[in-house]
Amino acid sequence: MQRLSRLLVVLSMMVTLALAACTAPAAAPTGEQAPGEQASGEQAAGGVTMSFWTRDSNQEQVRKLVDAWNDSHADQIEITVIPGSDYMTKVGASVGAGAPPDLMAVDLIYVPQFAAADQLTDITDFAKALPYFDSLSPSHVRLATYDGKIYGLPFNAEGSFLIYNKGLFEQAGLDPENPPKTWGEIADAAAQISALGDGIYGYYFSGACAGCNAFTFLPYIWASGGDVLNEEGTAATLTDPEVAAALDFYRQMWADGLIPPGAQADTGTDFANAFTTNTIGMAGTGAFLINNLKTNFPDLDFGVTFLPGMEEGASSFAGGDSIAIPAGSKYPEQAFEFIKWMSSDEVQLTYYAQENSLPVRTDLAENEFFAKDPRLTTAAQAMAMGRTPYTVVYNQLFNDANGPWLKMIQTAVFDGKVDEAVTTAQEEFTKILSEQ
Amino acid sequence: MTTVPAAIAKPPRRRSTLNRQRSIAGFLFVLPAVLFTLAMFIFPLLMTAWMSLHDWPLLGQATFLGIQNYVEMARDKQFWASLWFTTQYTLLVTPAIFILAFALALLVNTALRGIGVFRTIYFIPVVIGLGASSLLWVWLLNDRVGIINGLLLDLGLIERPIIWFVDKNLALGVIIVSVVWKTVGFSMILLLAGMQAIPDELYQAAMVDGANYRQRLTHIMMPLLRSTFALALVLSVIGSYLSFDQFYIMTRGGPQNQTITAVYWIFNNSFTYYKMGYGAALSIILLIILGALSILQLRILRDDVTY
């Protein structure tokens, strides 16, 4: 009897272990698998299978791209799509566990952080050997450069610009083909459009969204010659007079009632809804919205133009993902083959431009597909002249909904305390940067 | 587990084998639960405690700090502000849930035909995920397309749409309403189960003695519901102290960082600032606070009433 019981204990432990062993692999690949995955299971003639992680925001385009690669190459790619908000945590955990993907696409602002933590493969020599290296999105390359070495290349590109509703421009007696080119002209146009009444407002921004305002508000400062960080990203320069001036430009429009009251509470979810209901004259946005509007709101007549400076000039926030090879990648050479392939002329035109996505190369900003829709050319040109803050604490400085960047904008615009807002933000930026 | 010496007489020996068999069987029965608890609770808890003693970045090497994270906490104004805000929220939301749940439980504690329909209606929001329900309320409260502002406008109660989330008190108010709507059904079911466990004879005896409804309520039902209250209260207080989703989705901690709860601050430190070690230390402190609160509540509401 006693022996039987002991046997039972052993048996139950074995069952538990076996169960654990069974469930582990099934649980491992979270996210969805590409439709082309079946093909990779067959281990096509001598090729390897690389794992590739990407975030969910542009998964449709990425899937098409990867399918095309899998159909034409012996080395296969298996994609795992991870929700954008979990991306860093998930990658951090996998790196910590010593099992990073072979290839990953990551928001370009995080590349300095990865590089600083020594988590990426140095691809300087490969990258510089590319014939079109000099025309790759300058912002992507700048952010992927750490200590003079290159750790990533652009995977997809995004640039911010001003979108405006041509219908409302006409109604308000403005020329829809001649959009504003200074802050003053924006404010004037916003005033004329707001005068239409009936719930129509001239300007919009998501007042409770930190990241959105890095994307759409920073260019106003840059275009006027100011900046929020020094060149090395080591010190805050919010005391530049252009920062206070840009905040005051927003504050005045808010005070004049040219921005809908709901904007103050919008965490970024309400923006597209506001613009597509034909009640917003102008707003800052990115190329992603062009594709969305063309697909879902074909009747909406909109134009795009650069985000202007105070008196002249224009700028843009260059965003998007970089593609990098994690330090623990099993197939770095094959992975680089993919990077080379995806940035080639043919792929950039067929799987980017034709799909309403911006090419990652400035020499392809003008192409046959964008020729049919000059708005995309404008977006691509915005991206080409775009800038991006270079810092290893981007999240904490700009993206944090409870951080100094959003607090500065809210205090200045909604509470009307521009100077106080700038002083506080300068202190908080400096504190965060000094902790590094 | 020592072997029984052969010299011992037969009957006790049999008993001892039986005991052992029983204890082994018992062990096997609890084994799955023990393994589960070890893997899902004890191990992560120890890991958290270990992490809390380190500077643990998301990427790169962790460095041992000792108790520095805990020392840091004393100077972390936002943490104390968050803890205080969470306490305020708990003090407001708990009575709101309780009073309403008790009233609803009294209402549905009858044998009327079709009462199941009402119980179901009150309970349905409980099965909606908190994230989903928070998003739902965000849109209900939207200033342009939200039905709540629409109703208030149509009724002539307001002249222009209210932007709920730009004022701390308004935001807290509507979040409390949404949470009460979401969770009141659960407390109602707990209280209802407690009410139905009270034998009818007690009420009948009291009625014979001439006790009116209010007296039956305060002298029979309330005292006998003590342990149910304790359970519902502990669950509700823990739930409120751990609240995060509704604030993350509905207010993003705003306006001006006035609605950041304790868990929200832990989340920010761990997943926005990537200070995993500090986040772990905050979690441990919150665990200790909640443990102490729960013990206190159970002490106060200890069930010494029997019937």
- Prediction ipTM score: 0.79
Q: Which two tokens stand for residue B98?
A: 């309780």
Q: Touching check for B255 and chain A: CB below 8 Å?
A: yes
Asked if pLDDT for residue B10 goes beyond 60, the answer is: no
Q: Measure the CA–CA gap between B22 and B33, rounded to whole angstroms.
A: 18
Residue among A318, A308, A317 at smallest CA distance from A220: A308
Q: How many domains does chain A have?
A: 2
B172 located within any domain = yes
A289 and A149 both lie in a single domain? no
| pLDDT mean over A4-9 | 46
B63 located within any domain = no
Asked if pLDDT for residue B35 goes beyond 90, the answer is: yes
A180 and A274 both lie in a single domain? yes
Min mean pLDDT across A140-144, B59-63, B174-178 is at: B59-63
End-to-end CA distance of chain A: 65
A195 located within any domain = yes
B46 located within any domain = no
pLDDT band at A113 (very low <50, low <70, confident <90, very high): confident
Q: Measure the CA–CA gap between A126 and B7, rounded to whole angstroms.
A: 83
Is the C-alpha dihedral spanning A125, A127, A130, A135 positive or negative?
A: negative
CB contact under 8 A, B143 and A261: yes
pLDDT band at A117 (very low <50, low <70, confident <90, very high): confident
B27 and B74 both lie in a single domain? no
Asked if pLDDT for residue B306 goes beyond 70, the answer is: no
Domain that holds residue B29: 1-35
User: Pairing between strand A149-150 and A153-165?
Assistant: unpaired
Residue among A152, A127, A149 at smallest CA distance from A140: A152
Mutate which: A209, A273, A402, vs B, most B CBs within 10 A: A402
Query: Which is higher by pLDDT, A234 or A42?
Result: A234
List chain A residues with CB under 8 Å of B165.
208, 265
Residues in chain A: 436
Query: Which is higher by pLDDT, B181 or B2?
Result: B181
Asked if pLDDT for residue A10 goes beyond 60, the answer is: no
- Cβ–Cβ under 8 Å, residues A328 and A98: yes
Min mean pLDDT across A29-38, A42-51, A303-312 is at: A29-38
Alpha-carbon radius of gyration of chain B? 26
Asked if pLDDT for residue A365 goes beyond 90, the answer is: no
| pLDDT mean over A378-383 | 92
What A364-370 contacts at long range (C-beta under 8 Å, 24+ apart), as own/partner pairs, is: A364/A135
Asked if pLDDT for residue A47 goes beyond 90, the answer is: no
| pLDDT mean over A108-127 | 91
Mutate which: B1, B31, B36, B59, vs A, most A CBs within 10 A: B59
Q: Which two tokens stand for residue A186?
A: 């924006």
Cis peptide before B255 (omega within 30 of 0): yes
A282 located within any domain = yes
- Cβ–Cβ under 8 Å, residues B243 and B134: no
Query: Which is higher by pLDDT, A20 or A120?
Result: A120
Cα nearest neighbour of A1 on chain B = B21
B130 Rama class: left (phi>0) / alpha (psi -120 to 50) / beta:
alpha
pLDDT band at B102 (very low <50, low <70, confident <90, very high): very high
B143 located within any domain = yes
Cα nearest neighbour of B1 on chain A = A2
Q: How close does chain A come to B122, measured CA to CA in Å?
A: 30
- Cβ–Cβ under 8 Å, residues B65 and A49: no
- Cβ–Cβ under 8 Å, residues A162 and A283: yes
List chain B residues with CB under 8 Å of A401.
252-254
- Cβ–Cβ under 8 Å, residues A280 and A145: no
Q: In this predicted structure, what is the pLDDT of residue A27?
A: 34
pLDDT band at A23 (very low <50, low <70, confident <90, very high): very low
For the ranges A37-41, A223-227, A292-296, the one whose mean pLDDT is highest: A223-227
pLDDT band at A99 (very low <50, low <70, confident <90, very high): confident
Q: In this predicted structure, what is the pLDDT of residue A86?
A: 80
Min mean pLDDT across A214-228, B85-99, B108-122, B174-188 is at: B108-122
CB contact under 8 A, A113 and B272: no
A407 and A276 both lie in a single domain? yes
Q: Closest partner residue to A16 among B20, B35, B274, by Cβ?
A: B35
Mutate which: A267, A275, A405, A415, vs B, most B CBs within 10 A: A267
- At residue A141's C-alpha, the angle toward residues A215 and B275, to 5°, is 65
A256 and A203 both lie in a single domain? yes
pLDDT over 70 percentage in chain A:
89
Q: In this predicted structure, what is the pLDDT of residue A202?
A: 96
Q: In this predicted structure, what is the pLDDT of residue A22?
A: 39
Asked if pLDDT for residue A269 goes beyond 50, the answer is: yes
Instruction: Name every residue in A having a CB less than 8 A away from some CB of B.
Output: 1-2, 5, 8-9, 12, 16, 88-89, 92, 95-96, 113-114, 117-119, 199, 208, 260-262, 264-265, 267, 269-270, 273-274, 277, 279, 395-396, 399-403, 407, 410-411, 414
B51 located within any domain = no
Q: How close does chain B come to A265, measured CA to CA in Å?
A: 6
B26 and B112 both lie in a single domain? no
B22 and B144 both lie in a single domain? no
pLDDT band at B143 (very low <50, low <70, confident <90, very high): confident
B14 and B109 both lie in a single domain? no
CB contact under 8 A, A5 and B138: no
Name A156's Cβ contacts closer than 8 Å, sequence gap at least 6.
A58, A61, A105, A320, A321, A352, A357, A358, A360
Q: Measure the CA–CA gap between B76 and A91, rounded to whole angstroms.
A: 28
A237 and A210 both lie in a single domain? yes
pLDDT (tens digit per residue) in A184-218: 999 999 999 999 998 899 999 999 999 999 999 99
B54 located within any domain = no
List chain A residues with CB under 8 Å of B144.
199, 260, 262, 274, 277, 279
Min mean pLDDT across A33-42, B103-112, B171-180, B207-216 is at: A33-42
pLDDT band at B15 (very low <50, low <70, confident <90, very high): low
Asked if pLDDT for residue B299 goes beyond 90, the answer is: no
Q: In this predicted structure, what is the pLDDT of residue A192?
A: 96
Q: Touching check for B17 and chain A: CB below 8 Å?
A: yes
B2 and B112 both lie in a single domain? no
B137 located within any domain = yes
User: What's the mean per-residue pLDDT of chain B?
Assistant: 89
Q: In this predicted structure, what is the pLDDT of residue A37?
A: 39
Q: Closest partner residue to B256 among A273, A395, A407, by Cβ?
A: A407
Name A407's Cβ contacts closer than 8 Å, sequence gap at least 6.
A421, A424, A425, A428, B256, B257
| pLDDT mean over B83-97 | 95
List chain A residues with CB under 8 Å of B58.
88-89, 92
CB contact under 8 A, A396 and B256: no
A329 and A405 both lie in a single domain? no
Q: Which two tokens stand for residue B162?
A: 């209210």
Q: What are phi and psi of A302, to 5 degrees?
A: -125, 155
Q: Closest partner residue to A262 among B27, B144, B254, by Cβ?
A: B144
Q: How close does chain B come to A5, measured CA to CA in Å?
A: 7
A410 and A426 both lie in a single domain? yes
End-to-end CA distance of chain B: 43
Cα nearest neighbour of B275 on chain A = A396
- Cβ–Cβ under 8 Å, residues B249 and B134: yes
pLDDT band at B23 (very low <50, low <70, confident <90, very high): confident
Q: How close does chain B come to A272, measured CA to CA in Å?
A: 13
Q: Measure the CA–CA gap between A416 and A412, rounded to whole angstroms.
A: 5
B179 located within any domain = yes
Residues in chain B: 307
Q: Touching check for B3 and chain A: CB below 8 Å?
A: no
| pLDDT mean over B62-71 | 91
List chain B residues with CB under 8 Å of A436.
none
Q: How close does chain A come to B32, measured CA to CA in Å?
A: 8
Residue among A316, A323, A287, A322 at smallest CA distance from A384: A316
Q: Any idea what the CATH number is for the domain that residue A152 is in?
A: 3.40.190.10
- At residue A307's C-alpha, the angle toward residues A306 and A308, to 5°, is 100
Name the residue with tokens 């034409």.
Answer: A72
B273 and B171 both lie in a single domain? yes
Q: Closest partner residue to A1 among B21, B252, B254, by Cβ?
A: B21
CB contact under 8 A, B59 and A1: no
Q: Closest partner residue to B166 among A95, A265, A411, by Cβ?
A: A265
Residue among B222, B228, B242 at smallest CA distance from B293: B242
B3 and B140 both lie in a single domain? no
pLDDT band at A102 (very low <50, low <70, confident <90, very high): very high
Q: Touching check for B188 and chain A: CB below 8 Å?
A: no
Q: Touching check for B138 and chain A: CB below 8 Å?
A: yes
Q: Measure the CA–CA gap between B7 and B172, rounded to whole angstroms.
A: 75
Q: In this predicted structure, what is the pLDDT of residue A45?
A: 54
User: Pairing between strand A49-55 and A307-308?
Assistant: unpaired
Q: In this predicted structure, what is the pLDDT of residue A190?
A: 97
CB contact under 8 A, B253 and A401: yes
Asked if pLDDT for residue B162 goes beyond 80, the answer is: yes
Q: In this predicted structure, what is the pLDDT of residue A241?
A: 96
Give the orientation angle of helix A374-384 with respect to helix A287-296, to 10 degrees.
Answer: 160
CB contact under 8 A, A395 and B274: yes
CB contact under 8 A, B272 and A414: no
pLDDT band at B87 (very low <50, low <70, confident <90, very high): very high
A181 located within any domain = yes
Q: How close does chain B come to A407, measured CA to CA in Å?
A: 7
Asked if pLDDT for residue A44 goes beyond 90, the answer is: no
Query: Which is higher by pLDDT, B32 or B18?
Result: B32
A270 and A412 both lie in a single domain? yes
Q: How close does chain B come to A141, measured CA to CA in Å?
A: 21
| pLDDT mean over B211-219 | 89
**Bridge partners, A260 (sequence order):** none
CB contact under 8 A, A261 and B163: yes
- At residue B180's C-alpha, the angle toward residues B294 and B185, to 5°, is 85
A267 and A180 both lie in a single domain? yes
Asked if pLDDT for residue B221 goes beyond 60, the answer is: yes
Between positions 260 and 299 of B, the ones with CB within 8 A of A are 260, 268, 271-274
- Cβ–Cβ under 8 Å, residues A250 and A413: yes
Q: How many domains does chain B have?
A: 2
Q: How close does chain B come to A395, measured CA to CA in Å?
A: 6
Chains A and B form CB pairs within 8 A to the count of 95
Q: In this predicted structure, what is the pLDDT of residue B307?
A: 54
B22 and B150 both lie in a single domain? no
Alpha-carbon distance values, B103 to A326, B123, B253 (Å): 59, 14, 32
pLDDT over 90 percentage in chain A:
69
- Cβ–Cβ under 8 Å, residues B99 and B176: no
- At residue A369's C-alpha, the angle toward residues A132 and A293, to 5°, is 115
B160 and B12 both lie in a single domain? no
List chain A residues with CB under 8 Å of B145.
273
Min mean pLDDT across A168-182, A283-297, A304-318, B179-193 is at: A283-297
Q: Which amino acid is at B299?
A: R
User: What's the mean per-residue pLDDT of chain A?
Assistant: 87
A192 and A267 both lie in a single domain? yes
A281 and A354 both lie in a single domain? no
How many C-beta neighbours within 10 Å does residue A6 have?
Answer: 11
Asked if pLDDT for residue B7 goes beyond 60, the answer is: no
B20 and B157 both lie in a single domain? no
A98 and A163 both lie in a single domain? no
Alpha-carbon distance values, A31 to A83, A98, B178 (Å): 8, 19, 31
For the ranges A258-272, B21-35, B78-92, B110-124, the one whose mean pLDDT is highest: B78-92
pLDDT band at B254 (very low <50, low <70, confident <90, very high): confident
Asked if pLDDT for residue A12 goes beyond 80, the answer is: no
Alpha-carbon distance values, B70 to B59, B65, B241, B290 (Å): 22, 10, 20, 17
B105 and B232 both lie in a single domain? yes
| pLDDT mean over A123-128 | 94
Domain that holds residue A330: 29-157+320-361
How many C-beta neighbours within 10 Å does residue A76 have?
Answer: 24
Cα nearest neighbour of A397 on chain B = B273
